[in-house]
Amino acid sequence: MAEYELRIISALVEDRPGVLFKVTSLIRRRGFNIATITVGSTEKDKISRITITTRGNPAVVEQLVKQLSKIPEVLKISELDPDDSAFRELALIKVSAVESLKRSDILNYINIFRARVIDVSKDSLVIEVVGQPKKIQAFLDLMKGFGIIEMAKTGIVALSRGAKSTSVSDPTAK
Amino acid sequence: MRLSGAKAVVEALKDEKVEVIFGIPGGSTIPFYDALYECLEGGDLRHILARHEQCAAHMADGYARAKGIPGVCTATSGPGATNLVTGIAVAHMDSSPVVAITGQVSRSLIGKDAFQEADIVGIATPITKYAFQITKASEIPDTVRAAFMLANTNRKGPVLLDIPKDVFYEEVDYMEAEKVRIGGYVIKSGEPHPYSIKRAVGLMLESERPLIIAGGGVVASNAMAELVRLAELMPAPVATTLMGKGAIPEIHPLSLGMMGMHGRGEANMAAEEADLLIAVGMRFNDRTVGSMEKFGENAKIIHIDIDPAEIGKNLGVDVPIVADARKALAALANRLIEMGIKKKENEWSKRIAELKEKYSEFYNSDEGKGSLIPKRIMKILRSCIPDRSIVTTGVGQNQMWAALHFQVLEPRTFITSGGLGAMGFGFPASLGAKVACPDRPVFNIDGDGSFLMTEQDLATAVVENIPTVTLVMDNRVLGMVRQWQCMFCDKRYSETDLGKVPDFAKLAEAYGAEGIRVETYSELETAIRRSVGAEVPIVIDVPVSRDEKVLPMVPPGKTLREVVWFG
């Protein structure tokens, strides 16, 4: 299957029990493949933002957006243009670092990638790296050489750049 | 008004003008049934006690489709609720407004795997427009109103209301709900966008061979008059989907009947030869279009649907019109009239007449296996019952014989499980339809396999005095699967022989209904005529050959041209 460009869907939803279940259940039932999904609060009370990324073809993504917009709690949903939006992911990586020589190499890379060490132990480092998925992947590829013990990623959050927004002023607007 | 939660539910149902509830009580709904007690005694509400919750759901669905208003069913928690699932799924696939009320275990027990606990909200979410769980009695008025609003607006569909047992006991200050808001749900006007109408009419004017394909949405939006008017103005022949039967009277000169896998030759060939397809309230289902890849490749397509997610879901189209079918059809016709279009006899009309003529011999012939041939049975039924009679069907060969050969003359008089294809639907749906329209004869065309899935509700029909008539197309096989085995599995009839089926006439009598077995066409005719005004439920056992097939047939995934006429 052809690999498509990364596509980002941003949805504002009512923060009610079961909404995430409805969203994920629909994604599963309609057979859409998603790369990441994140949920978090927004500037408004009781409204959460769900950010979904996928590598589906454009028609499939359009259908996903249409199906999701049928869920009543989905107040607003749109696809973000990756070239015209800010999007970030955070990864925590525990890297094996026993020898001091290795350790200094790792710290060099950390500086280059503007990552941070957030925990140090005798045998390992926990590193936090934030950025676009490509940057994180590049950093991970480098760390593989040192031995990744474990890793966690947040999935992508995104906002459109400039004045454009996915926001709701009137909760009935859709 | 200080009420218990249970009484509040009953009041809220009355505020929604509910007249009938189909259901079975159980542990978690005891307080609800207790609250119903006086209402039922006083005649404010009617309750039909089903014998299986699946039937209660199908009855509510049949009621909804016959009457065009929401049907209500209820079941207890756990197995009661899970038994509703097939019925809810049928309503979902066919966009029928059904409100299902389920009891749930008390709030303190939820999540504890309590006795008769099932996560029905989780189970029903993918097969409903919305599944609510009420968490306190004060939510009842608004939530019941919201359930009916969701079920019966925009694209219609089922809604589930799950109510924990202790909420039924909790007291609430009852006030009739005002308008409610559910998230971003907006009731649409259904008006088409003028620009899309303009573009559609542009294509219509260019077209030399237009075909209208009418789906269930035309019936749901009561658009028969508008459909016929547009078809006559253009003029354009009309093919329907299975769900669209009844969108146009099938004796109308422009009607081609049903298209699709078991569609009529003229409908399928018209779809293949048309240069413009005006698809209304239909979703390009695989059973309707045959090959998804090739369907409509030589035609422009206008797609009218109230649900924007249907546009482009199965097929790319040239002009989408997101609108109510009735309003869109009216707008198209009005624009044609404004532009002063004169209808004319053209090559396409001649070609359509030629196609009809070409296939009429097949449809009119009485050749077949066995002494009673399905197509003739369907024609006899049509000729013996009033135009306004309602016909329901089971699923399988019986359903396709009905779809092919039984001419539907009025909207909402053909009720079938089109999308889900749930065997056992026909009989309980006939009961719901009869409750909705007691002054109309209601006939259920069923198969022996289908009927045996829900025949226990003959008990309901007898006790509740719901006199519908069931024609059992009795071939002692699961005929549709057997037909596929014959055509595609080298006649390896794996587990499709039912062996000995009950004597359906005696079965009916055992329940206190009337049973008739017919052996000849004249006996069939007499039995049907006698059944039209009957006051007891009747089962007519109609023996047909197990080798009789539904033909023509387009093999799955093939184009509508690649039809098989003989099997």
Q: Name the residue of chain B whose CA is nearest to A11's CA.
A: B184
Domains of chain A: residue spans and CATH: 7-80 (3.30.70.260), 86-158 (3.30.70.1150)
Q: What pTM does this model have?
A: 0.95
Interface touch A174/B309, C-beta < 8 Å: no
Q: CA of B346: how far to CAs of B22, B239, B275, B337, B351, in Å?
A: 52, 19, 14, 19, 9
d(CA B332, CA B257): 22
Is B414 marked active-site? no
Interface touch A70/B182, C-beta < 8 Å: no
Is A25 part of the contact surface with chain B (CB cutoff 8 Å)?
yes
Q: What is the DSSP string of A114-146?
A: T-EEEEE-SSEEEEEEEE-HHHHHHHHHHHHTT
Tens of pLDDT, residues A42-57: 999 999 999 999 988 8
Sort residue A168 into left (φ over 0), alpha (ψ -120 to 50) or beta. Answer: beta
Q: What is the largest CA-CA distance in chain A?
A: 60
Is A63 part of the contact surface with chain B (CB cutoff 8 Å)?
yes
Report the alpha-carbon angle B325-B331-B335, nearest 5: 150
Considering chain B, what percentage of its residues have pLDDT values greater than 90? Answer: 93
Point out the catalytic residue in the list B480, B504, B514, B553: B480
* DSSP-assigned letter for residue A4: P
Which one of B133, B313, B315 would you mutate to disrupt binding with A, by most A Cβ within 10 Å of its Cβ? B313
**Bridging pattern class, strands B210-214 and B276-280:** parallel
Taking the CA of residue B107 and the nearest CA in chain A, the distance in Å comes to 15
* DSSP-assigned letter for residue B423: T
Tens of pLDDT, residues B156-182: 999 999 999 999 999 999 999 988 999
**Coil, helix or strand for B109?**
helix
Is A164 part of the contact surface with chain B (CB cutoff 8 Å)?
no
Identify the residue whose tokens are 């790369």: A35
Residue A66 tokens, joined: 């249409």
Tell me what the mean pLDDT of segment A122-134 comes to: 95
Query: What residues of B are in contact with residue A66 (Cβ under 8 Å)?
Result: 308-309, 311, 313
Is B53 marked active-site? yes
Query: What residues of A are in contact with residue B184 (Cβ under 8 Å)?
Result: 72-76, 168, 171-174
**pLDDT surpassing 50 at residue B320:** yes
**Coil, helix or strand for B391?**
strand
| CA atoms within 13 Å, Cβ hemisphere of A149 | 12
**Which residues, 6+ apart, have CB-to-CB distance to B300 below 8 Å?**
B203, B206, B207, B275, B276, B277, B318, B319
d(CA A106, CA A67): 45
Tell me what the mean pLDDT of segment B285-306 comes to: 94
**Which residues, 6+ apart, have CB-to-CB distance to B562 below 8 Å?**
B290, B554, B555
Is A75 part of the contact surface with chain B (CB cutoff 8 Å)?
yes
Q: Could you tell me how many CB contacts below 8 A there are between chain A and chain B?
A: 51
Query: What residues of B are in contact with residue A13 (Cβ under 8 Å)?
Result: 183
Tens of pLDDT, residues B102-138: 999 999 999 999 999 999 999 999 999 999 999 999 9
Q: Name the residue of chain B whose CA is nearest to A68's CA.
A: B309
Tell me the fold of B369-543: Rossmann fold (3.40.50)
d(CA B211, CA B273): 9
* Domain extent listing, chain B: 2-173, 194-356, 369-543
- What pLDDT is stored for residue A114 in this prediction? 96
- What pLDDT is stored for residue A58 in this prediction? 87
Interface touch B183/A75, C-beta < 8 Å: yes
Dihedral through CA A76, CA A78, CA A82, CA A83, nearest 10? -100
Tens of pLDDT, residues B438-488: 999 999 999 999 999 999 999 999 999 999 999 999 999 999 999 999 999
Query: What residues of A are in contact with residue B119 (Cβ under 8 Å)?
Result: none
- What pLDDT is stored for residue B365 in this prediction? 85
Query: What residues of A are in contact with residue B307 (Cβ under 8 Å)?
Result: 70
- What pLDDT is stored for residue B236 in this prediction? 96
Q: CA of B320: how far to CAs of B153, B257, B278, B438, in Å?
A: 21, 24, 10, 40
* DSSP-assigned letter for residue B137: G
**pLDDT surpassing 90 at residue A1:** no
- What pLDDT is stored for residue B122 in this prediction? 95
Q: Which amino acid belongs to residue B521?
A: Y
Report the residue count for chain A: 174
Residues in A 31-60 with any Cβ partner in B closer than 8 A = 59
Which range among A126-130, B37-41, B390-394 shows the weakest confidence by mean pLDDT?
A: B37-41
Tens of pLDDT, residues B278-294: 999 999 999 999 998 99
Tell me the fold of B2-173: Rossmann fold (3.40.50)
Q: Which of A66, A172, A173 shows the shortest C-beta gap to B308? A: A66
pLDDT band at A165 (very low <50, low <70, confident <90, very high): confident
**pLDDT surpassing 60 at residue B32:** yes
pLDDT band at B305 (very low <50, low <70, confident <90, very high): very high
Say if residues A70 and A121 touch (Cβ distance below 8 Å): no
Q: CA of B222: how far to CAs of A80, B277, B337, B447, in Å?
A: 39, 21, 22, 30
Q: Pick from B383, B342, B376, B343: which is nearest to B253 by CA? A: B343
Taking the CA of residue A171 and the nearest CA in chain B, the distance in Å comes to 6
Is A29 part of the contact surface with chain B (CB cutoff 8 Å)?
yes
Say if residues A80 and A8 touch (Cβ distance below 8 Å): yes
Tell me what the mean pLDDT of segment B388-395 comes to: 98
Tens of pLDDT, residues B62-71: 999 999 999 9
pLDDT band at A3 (very low <50, low <70, confident <90, very high): low
| Better-scored residue on pLDDT, B382 or B343 | B382
Q: Name the residue of chain B whose CA is nearest to A76's CA.
A: B184
- What pLDDT is stored for residue A172 in this prediction? 46
pLDDT band at A2 (very low <50, low <70, confident <90, very high): low
Say if residues B103 and B93 touch (Cβ distance below 8 Å): no
Interface touch B121/A18, C-beta < 8 Å: yes
Is A70 part of the contact surface with chain B (CB cutoff 8 Å)?
yes
Query: What residues of A are in contact with residue B121 (Cβ under 8 Å)?
Result: 18
- What pLDDT is stored for residue A56 in this prediction? 82
Query: What residues of A are in contact with residue B312 (Cβ under 8 Å)?
Result: 59, 62-63
Taking the CA of residue A162 and the nearest CA in chain B, the distance in Å comes to 26
Confirm whether B194-356 and B369-543 share one CATH topology. yes
Q: Pick from B493, B458, B461, B457: which is nearest to B476 by CA? A: B493
Point out the catalytic residue in the list B104, B116, B483, B485: B116
Taking the CA of residue B186 and the nearest CA in chain A, the distance in Å comes to 7
Interface of B with A (CB under 8 A): 121-122, 125-126, 130, 150, 181-186, 307-309, 311-313, 316
Q: CA of A85: how far to CAs of A7, A8, A12, A163, A169, in Å?
A: 11, 9, 16, 11, 21
Is B284 marked active-site? no
**Would you say domain B194-356 falls under CATH 3.40.640.10?**
no
Is B165 marked active-site? yes
**Chain mean pLDDT for chain B:** 96
- What pLDDT is stored for residue B191 in this prediction? 98
Is B176 marked active-site? no
Q: Which helix (H) or strand (E) holds B483?
A: helix B479-488
Query: What residues of B are in contact with residue A70 (Cβ under 8 Å)?
Result: 307, 309
Q: Which of B182, B311, B316 shows the shortest C-beta gap to A72? A: B182
Interface touch A72/B309, C-beta < 8 Å: no
Q: Identify whether B552 is preceded by a cis peptide bond (ω within 30 of 0).
A: yes
| Better-scored residue on pLDDT, B351 or A29 | B351
Say if residues A147 and A106 touch (Cβ distance below 8 Å): no
d(CA B424, CA B454): 5
Point out the catalytic residue in the list B1, B112, B115, B506: B115
Interface touch A172/B181, C-beta < 8 Å: yes
pLDDT band at A174 (very low <50, low <70, confident <90, very high): very low
Tell me what the mean pLDDT of segment B382-392 comes to: 98
Tens of pLDDT, residues B534-545: 999 999 999 999
ipTM: 0.87
Tens of pLDDT, residues B188-205: 999 999 999 999 999 999
Q: Which of A18, A29, A63 shows the shortest C-beta gap to B309? A: A63
